[in-house]
């Protein structure tokens, strides 16, 4: 029974990674950039909901919505101010700018909210679902996380495939120049992508901090790197890939912590990533691009 409980814990952690990874993968798909500031947007989202609940005593759902709102605006602002001027710049310049944004967010958070670790309030309570006469206990947070991930995934897939904006996003990710010629507003489409990615980061931040309630200005870095790894696992640029990659990473990490060693879990996770990339050089669901000569 303990196996099942670990599996569920892993799925829940993986769901958080998957939600963050979706943000990475969408931005990569459309802007072809590694947005290293994404992890820090998560951090900002966590602080916003923390302050909303702690200081102004808002209900959990309102706090969560506030956080989504704040991050969406932040995401669009970052894109417009920092990345948009670099649309035709070499990818390394954009990468370094993203790192600059990441430093900026971390240090702003430090100035605004201090460096000390704060405890995130239990937003969804600590109730547990008891199954099999108490042999399997699952907290409602865990269930909520997994359900949230599945809902987000479904809605996002429908959005990308069925709506006009979704179609524009797919067009931009294939060829920005051609999309522009077809009358698609590329700038707006990219902004929308950042908005969605950042909004998802806010949701992830609430779920993450409910599971691991320690709040500090660098809390987004490690989940950011992990989620990024998850996106690569699945094939960066691919939305179902991010979902599968996130879940796999969560399960892998949980299992290596409980069955092998908590100190070595990072090494194992990254080791598996390397093996996956060697077997499938563009991730599980990534597209292979043929070079034209």
Applying CB under 8 A, among 101, 156, 201, 251 the residue interacting with another protein is 101
Q: How far apart are CA 164 and CA 146, in angstroms?
A: 28
How far apart are the two ends of the chain, measured CA to CA in Å?
56
188 binds another protein, rule: CB under 8 A:
no
Size of the site for another protein (CB under 8 A): 45
Which CB atom, from 59 or from 281, has the smaller least distance to another protein?
A: 281
Which CB atom, from 24 or from 243, has the smaller least distance to another protein?
A: 24
Q: Which residue has the tokens 């290596």?
A: 256
Applying CB under 8 A, among 13, 34, 52, 203 the residue interacting with another protein is 34
DSSP structure class, residue 57: -
277 binds another protein, rule: CB under 8 A:
yes
- Dmax over Cα atoms in the chain, in whole Å? 66
Q: Which residue has the tokens 């904006």?
A: 165
76 binds another protein, rule: CB under 8 A:
no
Which CB atom, from 120 or from 194, has the smaller least distance to another protein?
A: 194
Applying CB under 8 A, among 122, 225, 240, 255 the residue interacting with another protein is 225
- Over the window 109 to 148, marking each residue x when it contacts another protein by CB under 8 A and - when it does not, the resulting string is -xx-------------------------------------
Helix (H, G, I), strand (E, B) or coil at 193: helix
Of 6-14, 81-89, 116-124, 143-151, the segment contacting another protein by CB under 8 A is 81-89
Neighbours of 105 (CB within 10 A): 21
Structure tokens at 42: 């998560």
How many helices (H) and strands (E) are present in the chain, helices listed first? 11, 4
Q: How far apart are CA 291 and CA 70, in angstroms?
A: 41
DSSP structure class, residue 85: G
96 binds another protein, rule: CB under 8 A:
yes
Q: How far apart are CA 289 and CA 94, in angstroms?
A: 22
What are φ and ψ of residue 39, in 5° steps? -60, -30
Nearest to 138, CA basis, from 270, 290, 275, 9: 9
In whole angstroms, the minimum distance from the beta carbon of 253 to another protein comes to 12
293 binds another protein, rule: CB under 8 A:
yes
186 binds another protein, rule: CB under 8 A:
no
279 binds another protein, rule: CB under 8 A:
no
- In degrees, to the nearest 5, what angle opens at C-alpha 250 toward C-alphas 249 and 252? 60
In whole angstroms, the minimum distance from the beta carbon of 41 to another protein comes to 15
Applying CB under 8 A, among 123, 239, 273, 284 the residue interacting with another protein is 273
100 binds another protein, rule: CB under 8 A:
yes
Helix (H, G, I), strand (E, B) or coil at 215: strand
Binding site for another protein (CB under 8 A): 28, 34, 36, 82, 85-86, 88-90, 92-93, 95-97, 99-101, 103-104, 107-108, 110-111, 221, 225, 228-229, 232, 236, 261, 263-264, 266-267, 270-271, 273-274, 277-278, 281-283, 291, 293
């Amino acid at each position: 029974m303990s196996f099942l409980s670990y599996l569920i814990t892993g799925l829940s952690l993986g769901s958080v990674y998957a939600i963050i990874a979706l943000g990475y993968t969408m931005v990569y798909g459309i802007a072809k950039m590694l947005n290293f500031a994404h992890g820090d947007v998560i951090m900002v989202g966590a602080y916003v909901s923390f302050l909303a609940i702690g200081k102004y005593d808002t209900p959990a759902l309102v706090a969560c919505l506030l956080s989504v709102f704040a991050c969406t605006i932040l995401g669009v602002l970052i894109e417009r101010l920092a990345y948009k001027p670099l649309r035709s710049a070499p990818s390394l310049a954009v990468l370094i700018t993203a790192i600059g944004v990441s430093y900026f967010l971390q240090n702003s958070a430090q100035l605004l909210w201090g460096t000390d670790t704060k405890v995130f309030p239990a937003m969804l309570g600590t109730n547990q679902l008891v199954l099999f006469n108490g042999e399997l206990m699952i907290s409602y947070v865990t269930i909520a996380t997994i359900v949230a991930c599945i809902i987000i995934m479904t809605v996002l897939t429908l959005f990308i495939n069925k709506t006009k904006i979704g179609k524009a996003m797919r067009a931009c990710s294939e060829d920005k120049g051609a999309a522009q010629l077809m009358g698609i507003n590329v700038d707006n489409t990219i902004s929308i992508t950042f908005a969605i990615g950042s909004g998802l980061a806010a949701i992830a931040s609430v779920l993450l901090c409910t599971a691991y309630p320690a709040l500090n200005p660098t809390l987004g870095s490690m989940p950011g790197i992990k989620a990024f790894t998850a996106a690569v696992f699945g094939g960066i640029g691919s939305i179902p890939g991010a979902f599968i990659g996130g879940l796999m990473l969560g399960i892998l990490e949980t299992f290596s912590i409980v069955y092998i060693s908590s100190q070595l879990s990072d090494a194992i996770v990254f080791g598996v990533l390397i093996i996956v990339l060697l077997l499938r050089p563009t991730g599980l669901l990534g597209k292979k691009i043929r070079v034209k000569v």
